[in-house]
Structure 1
Amino acid sequence: MTLETKKSVFVELGKFLGQFSKDNTVKKPAVLHNDTFFDAFIALINLSQSHNGWYTADNVYFSIQSWAEALTDENLTKWLSEYDLQNRTSKNIALILAGNIPLVGFHDFLSVLITGNTVLVKTSSNDQHLLPFLAKYIIAVQPALAQNITFVEGKLENFDAVIATGSNNTARYFEYYFKDKPSIIRKSRNSVAVLTGNETKEQLTALGEDIFRYFGLGCRNVSKLFVPKEYSFVPFFEAIFAYQDVIHYEKYANNYDYNKAVFLMSNFKLLDNGFLTLKEDQSHASPISSVFYEFYEDINDLKTRLKSENELLQCIVADETIENSVAFGQTQNPRLWNYADNIDTISFLLTI
């Protein structure tokens, strides 16, 4: 199968996904296989929260729309133009996927197939339905892909390389278990924001998207703020008030109540607006419903520190004062060439 054929399959998937949004789902006659898949996908979206309590319709639709925007011929061509994908021998690539946010493993799935390899997928128990559904759709578009896609329930066998995503604890297990195979083992990472005090209300409101999207469960969610000495959090709290409805979601509210109680019982000083707590802490990984913060005195010293902590960080949200930073509100909109853990998945697959 040629690269152009494979690209066209995912472009068709992008068109299919582009029909679905929280406020304006529209069935388009020109989209392939809608008679089979359109209504079934709506039903699956509506059931997603019963499969995983964190998968609200709002967040599932957001993920779907993100992929619809990514899967265009222009984006796929730009992404793949850097690589030589011709005359590749197909290898069996095992994927062990996370399930913290909807379709979190789709980029790995796409990368394996677009490079002409066969994918063996072990889904997370928290996300067992969305990716298999999309796999059925692309097989309907291109039946030849059926021989390149297998979802595995038991033990993974007969694979040439593995891409596994998990916590720091599971990563140690993966590293030992797959020590004899080429691998990408992804560990826990966090995202941070660097504020100067000169941010506009619009920027701080956009930062709320980086914090609250997917309830803060993703590695691209901001869990830590770096702020200058004497920084006033009043503008920050005023700007993120737009996200107050998050507290009406029971699972989030339970985490807010529990984590706030734990902090208070430990006599930690907190800033609190009724749906988010801020705690001064040197760690990057804050619990759900809380964001840590730390004061800095010299921006250049902070830049040096962030470079030294590169392997702990997924995104740095800031203005142009920080190299390779992400704009406010954009952490959950990565491009195809923005790789998890900053590891080039395509290059890895081409070396096997």
Structure 2
Amino acid sequence: MTLTETKKAFAELGKFLKQFSQDTSTKNNDVQYNDIFFDGFINLIQLSQSHNRWFTPEQVYFAVQSWAEALTTENLDKWLDNYIINYTQPKTVALVLAGNIPLVGFHDFLSVLVTGHKALVKLSSNDQKLLPFLAKYLIAVEPRLKERIEFTEGKLENFDAVIATGSNNTSRYFEYYFKDKPSIIRKNRNSVAVLTGKESKEELTALGEDIFRYFGLGCRNVSKLFVPKEYDFTAFFEAVFAYGDVIHYEKYANNYDYNKAVYLMSNFKILDNGFLTLKEDAGYSSPISSVFYEYYNSPEELKAKLESEHDQLQCVVGHISGSNTVGFGQTQKPQLWDYADNVDTISFLTKI
């Protein structure tokens, strides 16, 4: 296979995914193999919540549409044109995937295949159905990919490099277990927003998307706000009121009730709007249904702090310069060239 042929297969997958949305899924007769896969994918999306109760159809459809927008010929070309990719020495790359949000490991899967390698995939128990289905579609489009995709439930063996994603605790295990292999080991990261008090209602409403999408389970979800002294949270609460329906989802509501009770029993001072609590805290990793906040004295001082702690941060939302800064409402819409932890996966894969 060539890079061009691999990109073409993924562009066809993008066309397939583009058919599916929460409002309506419309079959496009120009899409390949719809007779085999279209109805099955709709059923899988509807059943995803039975496999993982956080994977509501709304959240899965959002992930699917995000990948549909990313997997175009134009995006694939723009992403890969600056690399020298050689298919003559394929390696087997083990992928240990997370399962916190739908298809969270797809970018690693894509990266391995477009660089000409074989993907040996160990799925998270929380996301075991979506990627194998899409892999079957890819193989239908390009049968030669079958030799380059393998899913395993057992011990990872016979591989040349590894990309593993987990928590700070599991990363220590990964670093020991894979110490003799070229590797990318990802740990916990969180995303933050920097507010000045001058944000528009539209920007603050968009920030709600960064907070509540996937119920806040992703590393790109905003889990902390940095605000100036004497910041008035009234405008923020009014703007995010549009996301109040999240409290009607049982698992989220249970987390809200539990975490709020813990805060109150511990005599922590919190702000609360009935579906989100705000707690002043120096940490980055807030629990589900809660966002931490911290006051800053000056933009310059805050920028220095964020730069010194960049290894804990995935995204920074707001009007502040930096390599990992994104606009309001954009954290869950990364481009193909927006690498997790700012580690260039393609560069790593072309050098193993």
**Cα displacement (A) at 1:88:** 3.6
Question: What residue in structure 2 maps to residue 35 of structure 1?
Answer: 35
Amino acid at match of 2:199: E
Distance 1:126 1:324, change over 3 A: closer
CA RMSD of aligned residues (A): 0.8
Please say which of residues 148-157 and 79-88 is displaced more in the overlay: 79-88
- Aligned-partner Cα distance in 2 for 1:312–1:285: 10
Q: What pairs up with 1:266-345 in 2 under 5 angstroms?
A: 266-320=266-320, 324-345=324-345
Aligned to 2:228: 228
Aligned residue number for residue 157 of structure 1: 157
For the residues of structure 2 that align with 1:110 and 1:116, how far apart are their CA atoms?
10
| CA offset digits 1:170-214 (Å, max 9, x no partner) | 000000011111110000000000000000000000000000000
Listed one character per residue, the Cα deviations across residues 97-140 of structure 1 (whole Å, up to 9, x for unaligned) are 00000000000000000000000000000000000000000000
CA deviation map 1:249-272 (0-9, x unaligned): 000000000000011111000000
The match for 1:199 is: 199
Find the aligned partners of 1:200 and 1:323 in 2 and give their Cα distance: 24
Q: Secondary structure of the residue that 2:325 maps to in structure 1?
A: coil
CA shift in 2, pair 1:156/1:233, >3 Å: same
Distance 1:25 1:55 in 2: 18
Change (3 A) 1:323 1:171: closer
Matches of 1:33 and 1:257, distance apart in 2 = 46
Partner residue of 1:257?
Answer: 257
* Paired position in structure 2 for 1:183: 183
Gaps of 5+ in 1: none
Q: Which amino acid letter does the alignment assign opposite residue 241 of structure 1? A: F
Give the structure 2 partner of residue 210 of structure 1. Answer: 210
Higher mean C-alpha deviation, range 322-331 or range 219-228: 322-331
Q: Is 1:248 aligned with 2:242?
A: no
Q: Distance in 1 between matches of 2:5 and 2:257?
A: 51
Matches of 1:43 and 1:278 in 2, distance apart? 38
Structure 2, gaps ≥5 residues long: none
Question: What is the count of residue pairs matched by the alignment?
Answer: 352
State the distance in 1 between where 2:321 and 2:310 align.
Answer: 17
Q: What's the secondary structure of 1:150's corresponding residue?
A: strand
Q: Aligned partners of 2:153 and 2:208: how far apart in 1?
A: 37
Query: Alpha-carbon deviation of 1:281?
Result: 0.2
Task: Name the aligned partner's letter for residue 293 of structure 2.
Answer: Y
| Residue-by-residue CA offset, 1:16-48 (whole Å, 9 max, x unaligned) | 000000002100100000000000000000100
Question: What is the alpha-carbon distance in structure 1 between the residues aligned to residue 81 and residue 312 of structure 2?
Answer: 29
Instruction: Write the deviation string for residues 58-108 of structure 1: whole angstroms up to 9, x where unpaired.
Output: 000000000000000000000001100134410000000000000000000
Say if 2:127 is the partner of 1:127.
yes
Which residue does 1:110 correspond to in 2? 110
- 1:278 and 1:268 map into 2 onto residues whose CA distance is 10
**Rounded Cα–Cα distance in structure 1 between residues aligned with 2:268 and 2:259:** 11
Mapped to 1, the partners of 2:140 and 2:87 lie a distance apart of 25
| Structure 2 counterpart SS, 1:157 | coil
- The secondary structure found in structure 2 opposite 1:295 is strand
TM-score normalized by the length of structure 2: 0.99
Change (3 A) 1:88 1:346: farther
State how far apart, in whole Å, the 1-side matches of 2:349 and 2:280 are: 41
- In 2 relative to 1, CA 157–268 (structure 1 residues): closer, same or farther, beyond 3 Å? same
CA distance in 2, matches of 1:169, 1:214: 23
User: Does the residue aligned with 1:163 lie in a helix, a strand or coil?
Assistant: strand
Moved over 4 A (4+): 320-324
AA in 1 matched with 2:226: F
Whether contact under 8 Å (2:164, 2:184) holds in the other structure is yes
Alignment of 1:98 onto 2:86 = no
